Structures are given as C-alpha cells and as structure tokens.
Amino acid sequence: MVCGLLVSLTGGLAPATAAADGPATAETSTDSPKDAPKVDLVLDVSGSMRARDIDGQSRMSAAKQAFNEVLDAVPQEVRLGIRTLGAEYRGDDRKVGCKDTRALYPVGPVDRTEAKTAVATLTPTGWTPIGPALLKAADDLEGGDGARRIVLISDGEDTCQPLDPCEVARELAAKGIHLTVDTLGLVPDAKTRTQLSCIAEATGGTYTSVQHKDELSGRVKQLVHRTVEPSLAPEPAKGTDSCERAPQLKPGLYTDREEFGEHRFYKVDVRPGQELRASVSVAADRAVNDDYGVQLRASTLRGREIVRGEATGDGRTDVLSTGLRYPKADDGSAAEDADGEPVPETVCLRVSNAFSAPASVKTTPGLPVELSVDVVDGPDEASDAAFLGLGNGWWFLLAVTLIGLLAGLVWGWISRWRVTVWRTN
C-alpha cells in the first residue's frame, strides 16, 4: 500500500536458445551501445509461484501478463534482458537446485515477439536461488558506461543459504559498478519482505510489496524508465528529529525510512517569488492496523506552520493523496544579502505518520519513504490578474456583482414581457 501526499507552496517560499549477441530481428536504436541503459528482469519461477492469490489467478500467470505489458512499453534505447531462477530443476538435490538460473532472454535490443514467446514457456518449477541469480545478472549487465539496473521479482526468500543474497548485494555495491537492485515481493510474508528490503537497500534500490498484477506491471515500467532517466532515480536522504539538524535538499527525488509514528524533518531553500512543490509517499510494506495517516507539513525555522497536506486510510488502500497551495505574495520585505540579492527562506518539511502494527509484526526497519521536491518560478501576478483583475480580488468581485445584477434585470424584463404577451393572446 502506498500513501501519497502533495503540498504546493507559493511566493516566499530472446529465448534461452538465442545467441549471446541478441536476436537478429531486434529493433534498432540510435543510442551508442556503450552508453545505452541496461536492465535485467530477474523472475522467480520456483514452485511457490503456482499459488493463486493475485487477482484470482496464479502468481506466475500474473507475472507473465505483467511482463508482456512491460515489454510493450520498453523504451527503444534500453538494452533489456530476462533471467529466471528456479525454472528448470524439479528434483530434491539442493546443490543442483541452487544452480538453477539462466538467461531466458539475453540483455540487448528488445524483440518484443521473441521475448514474449520466451516468457510464455515458463512454468513454476523448483528452488529459489536468489543469491546465484543476482551474481549472474550482474554478469549479464557488464560492459558499457550506461546505467545498470536489476529488477528482482520473487514471492519467497532465498533457499540456497549460506550464500546470503543480502551479502551478495553488498558485494555488488562495493564493486562500485553503479548497479542498482530493485526488488518486488509478490504477496510477501515477513521473512521475504525483510530479505528483499535488505537486498534493495544495499545497492540504493527500492523495495515494493505487490498484491495485484497492475501494481507489478506499473512498478516495473517505472523502474525501467528510471534507468533511461537516472535523474528520476531517488537519492538517499536521512531525515532528522528537528529542522535545525535536517539535511538540505535540492530539487529531486529522495528515499528514507521512517519508524512507526515518527516525525522526520528536511530543509529546502526557496527564494522570494518561487514556488515549492513537495510530495511524499510512505509504503506500508508489511501488515498494519486500520486507521492510519500520513502528513506533510511545511513551516518556517521558527516553527510557524505555513501549510500542511494529509491523507488517511482505513484498511488496505493503494493510494491516498491530497494537495494544498499557499498563495503567499512577495511583498518586498524579504531580507537581502550584502549584494542586495534576496536571501532565500528556509522551509522545514516534516513527514509524519500514524501507522501502527499488530504485536506480531516487526516495526524495524522503518517504512520506506519517497520524497519529491521541486522549486519553480511562481505564477506572474500580471497573468493572475489577466481576467478582470482576478488577482486583485475587488475588481473581479465588483464585475461579478454588476453582471449578476444586469442579468437579473434583463431576465425579469423578459419574463414580464412573455407573461403580458401570453395574457394578450
């Protein structure tokens, strides 16, 4: 479940048999192969994917449909591959089962027909060797200077210890190869959530809990597009318990974790005449109690509240959102520096939540937070007043009053004339 908030402030503020170099019929791209962004979708095809608990169908069927939608939407410049884990070995030999990972479709330009045909052949089969699959996926993405991303979709924890997938992710991050691993849990239990969250955090990626097919396809599409536009990828930002010690944020996308019932502060500088737009999403990646809420509050350094946005929910809700706009005009009273330039005002953003959880649910690590910040030029006062002095208020009110009065008089005269004509006839 994701809870979203928006606050706006104005003014002072190929199949497995394909050749390694990709399908011969793949689409062409104008991007240099050296700089092209690469994505490897790693799909769990273990036996548990037979479970029928996603929109009335099996997890495997939901994943296949979602993959088809994702393949249709892959940007032309992306080099994409599909790797499976647990797709072939049906036996009980753990040593063999933990080697069961293969490139279903090699990383390269996408031939949608061949890729979909490869996905259609998948059947839930064996073990869950997440660690080995991550190592092979990293090899799949070698070469070039473009962005690299692994998107892991699994419905269970790794069954091939002691090769801990969290440690594998940390090792990949330590290599400095700029590889991000994002994870998605299909109807996950607590252990699966913990492990997938750990994998994502180790590489600066994100974890998402998925209950529906649309959530799966939508999230994977989003992650693929983030690879094309790295600026859309969130940066880590650790909020604090007070505005004074809060991190200074520039326009961008940020991730953090927030404990249940916690407040976290961040700071943003806004010059006079600018508009601050901020939004926050808090994902309930585990079972939570009913009656919850998320709040985004903007205030000055002195603690004076400027505006707030909040959303509440009762039960499992996909998205909650709200928005506010604070029209604070620039009255020329802003402080100036030694060169006569207006001094930016520091705005404190406080993210709060009212989540709680049953006693059996672990509350650590905290809930995933995604914070978006943007600062733009505020609306021009002249354009605000373009229609009969709308921005000045009084002109507009007077015009509306006069128009209403005249319209009433004319309509009254027409009505009386129609009655007179009717009586005469």
The string of DSSP codes covering 376-403 is EEPPPHHHHTTTTTGGGSHHHHHHHHHH
253 exposure class (CB count in 10 Å sphere: 0-12, 13-18, 19+): middle
Regarding whether 93 and 47 lie in a shared domain, the answer is: yes
Regarding whether 212 and 265 lie in a shared domain, the answer is: no
Give how many domains the chain has, as a whole number. Answer: 3
Regarding whether 154 and 76 lie in a shared domain, the answer is: yes
- Closest residue by Cα to residue 320 from 72, 58, 91, 3: 3
CB atoms within 10 A of CB 239: 24
**Which has the higher per-residue pLDDT, 417 or 244?**
244
Which of 232, 248, 271 finishes a domain?
232
Instruction: Evaluate whether residue 172 is within a structural domain.
Output: yes
Regarding whether 46 and 148 lie in a shared domain, the answer is: yes
Instruction: Evaluate whether residue 125 is within a structural domain.
Output: yes
β-strands 2-10, 323-327: how paired? parallel
Question: Is residue 18's pLDDT more than 60?
Answer: no
pLDDT band of residue 143 (cuts 50, 70, 90) is confident
Instruction: Evaluate whether residue 19 is within a structural domain.
Output: no
Instruction: Evaluate whether residue 319 is within a structural domain.
Output: yes
pLDDT at 51: 93
Instruction: Evaluate whether residue 359 is within a structural domain.
Output: yes
With vertex at residue 311, the alpha carbon angle to CA 309 and CA 314, rounded to the nearest 5 degrees, is 165
Check: CB of residue 47 under 8 Å from CB of residue 86.
Answer: yes
CATH of the domain at 124: 3.40.50.410
Q: Which domain holds residue 312?
A: 239-331+341-379
- Closest residue by Cα to residue 294 from 349, 348, 243, 242: 349
Instruction: Evaluate whether residue 24 is within a structural domain.
Output: no
Regarding whether 278 and 134 lie in a shared domain, the answer is: no
Regarding whether 80 and 183 lie in a shared domain, the answer is: yes
Regarding whether 250 and 227 lie in a shared domain, the answer is: no
Which of 213, 232, 251 finishes a domain?
232
**pLDDT tens-digit map of 245-282:** 999 999 888 888 889 999 999 999 988 878 888 888 88
DSSP letter, residue 87: S
CA-to-CA distance for 402 and 399, rounded, in angstroms? 5
DSSP letter, residue 230: G
- The helix or strand, by DSSP H or E, that contains position 137, with its residue range, turns out to be helix 130-140
pLDDT at 368: 80
Instruction: Identify the sign of the CA torsion 318, 252, 304, 13.
Output: negative
**pLDDT tens-digit map of 168-215:** 998 888 787 778 999 999 988 888 888 998 898 888 888 888 889 988
**pLDDT tens-digit map of 291-309:** 888 888 888 887 778 887 7
Regarding whether 352 and 419 lie in a shared domain, the answer is: no
- Residue 162: is the preceding peptide bond cis (ω within 30°)? yes
Instruction: Evaluate whether residue 71 is within a structural domain.
Output: yes
Instruction: Evaluate whether residue 398 is within a structural domain.
Output: yes
pLDDT at 65: 94
Q: What is the average pLDDT score of the chain?
A: 79
**pLDDT tens-digit map of 343-389:** 788 899 999 988 888 888 878 778 888 888 888 776 654 444 444 44
CATH of the domain at 259: 2.60.120.380
The whole-number average pLDDT for the span 18-27 is: 38
